[in-house]
Amino acid sequence: MIHIVFQQNDIETLQKAMEMDSSLDGDIIEIKDELAVGPIANIYEPEGYQGRRNWWKEVLEFSPYAGEPGIIDDKLKVHNLVKKLEEEPTEQVWIWMAQNQHDVCGYYWLMSQLKAYQGRVFVLYLNNLPFINEKGGIFYPTNLFEILPKEILKAKRLARPITLSEFEIDPDEWKKLCAENAIVRLLEGGKKIAGADASHYDKDILQAVTAEPQKLSKVFHTLFGKQKIRAGDAFVAWRTRIMAAESKLEIQGDWAKGWKEITIRQAGAPVQATETTETI
């Protein structure tokens, strides 16, 4: 059995579940590319692949992830996966995805390459399903890693083969998204993905920034905590650079020295005078 996940934190959750139930034992493969953002036109062709690599290179510049675009590994992972399916006719693939655009776009990209193995490729879509949290309450997770490992043991019963009709319809849906080539993709419900402009999250970023300078890390905390923005930190940092160039934000610090050096404030906001005390 081969498990496919789309986020790093999902791996630990599955590993802990395997410790509780050996029937889940198998290799875990993470598809790293964040396919809910960035260009995807002709993504399976050399020019589309290179265009996406170039975009990620720009986005990841100055970030802790610079020089590590996951799409390089992902192509090799799929190549090796197909090779293993060819060599081992009884091998199965389980694709785990939760209710978020990152997982769903990753599913579309991956399953479109596995039609030849229909009947051996399973999907577990945790779509709008209730689970029990650590406090014993019911919640609806949007990420696999939010689910307790013991609850994963219940979720495994949802595994079902991707149907022949899905192998016909879902790749067509993905082709439409690739042709649209929006920079941001949003999950509207089920497996329905809609495209949006690269500036889609700018309003959220602007709301998180104050008149007083804040560290970039604090802006991240506000966005991913309170507003629950559905894009990665590298994408947000990239957008702040663009908005600063458009005079929508003011940024201080040297990007070349890393994110920790960067502070952000509202553009044109008055600088508060520092109070001084004179001794007479």
- Does residue 93 belong to any structural domain of this protein? yes
Shared domain for 237 and 124, answered yes or no, is no
Global model pTM greater than 0.85: yes
* φ/ψ (deg, to 5) at 193: -110, 135
- Does residue 276 belong to any structural domain of this protein? no
- Does residue 250 belong to any structural domain of this protein? yes
- Does residue 31 belong to any structural domain of this protein? yes
Domain that holds residue 222: 202-266
- Does residue 156 belong to any structural domain of this protein? yes
Shared domain for 217 and 87, answered yes or no, is no
Shared domain for 172 and 54, answered yes or no, is yes
In the prediction, which pLDDT does 234 show? Answer: 92
Shared domain for 142 and 230, answered yes or no, is no
Shared domain for 55 and 123, answered yes or no, is yes
Beta bridge partners of 249: 266
Shared domain for 126 and 228, answered yes or no, is no
For 252, the 3-state DSSP assignment is: strand
Of 232 and 3, the structure prediction assigns the larger pLDDT to 3
Q: Which residues, at least 6 apart from 61, have a Cβ–Cβ distance to it below 8 Å?
A: 255
Q: Structural domain tally of the chain?
A: 2
Residue 280 has pLDDT above 60, yes or no: no
CA–CA separation, 216 and 209 (whole Å)? 9
Shared domain for 7 and 143, answered yes or no, is yes
Q: Which residue from 83, 143, 68 is spatially nearest to 113, judged by alpha carbons?
A: 83
| Count of beta carbons in the 10 Å neighbourhood of residue 54 | 12
Shared domain for 126 and 26, answered yes or no, is yes
- Identify the sign of the CA torsion 177, 182, 185, 188: negative
CA–CA separation, 260 and 33 (whole Å)? 24
Residue 83 has pLDDT above 90, yes or no: yes
Shared domain for 173 and 206, answered yes or no, is no
* φ/ψ (deg, to 5) at 249: -135, 160
CATH code of the domain in which 214 resides: 1.10.10
Range with lowest mean pLDDT among 36-40, 68-72, 263-267, 276-280? 276-280
Shared domain for 211 and 142, answered yes or no, is no
As a whole number, the mean pLDDT across the chain is 91
Shared domain for 34 and 124, answered yes or no, is yes
Q: Per-residue pLDDT tens for 36-79?
A: 999 999 999 999 999 999 999 999 998 888 776 566 689 999 99
Encoded tokens for 233:
């930190």
In the prediction, which pLDDT does 65 show? Answer: 83
Encoded tokens for 237:
């940092």
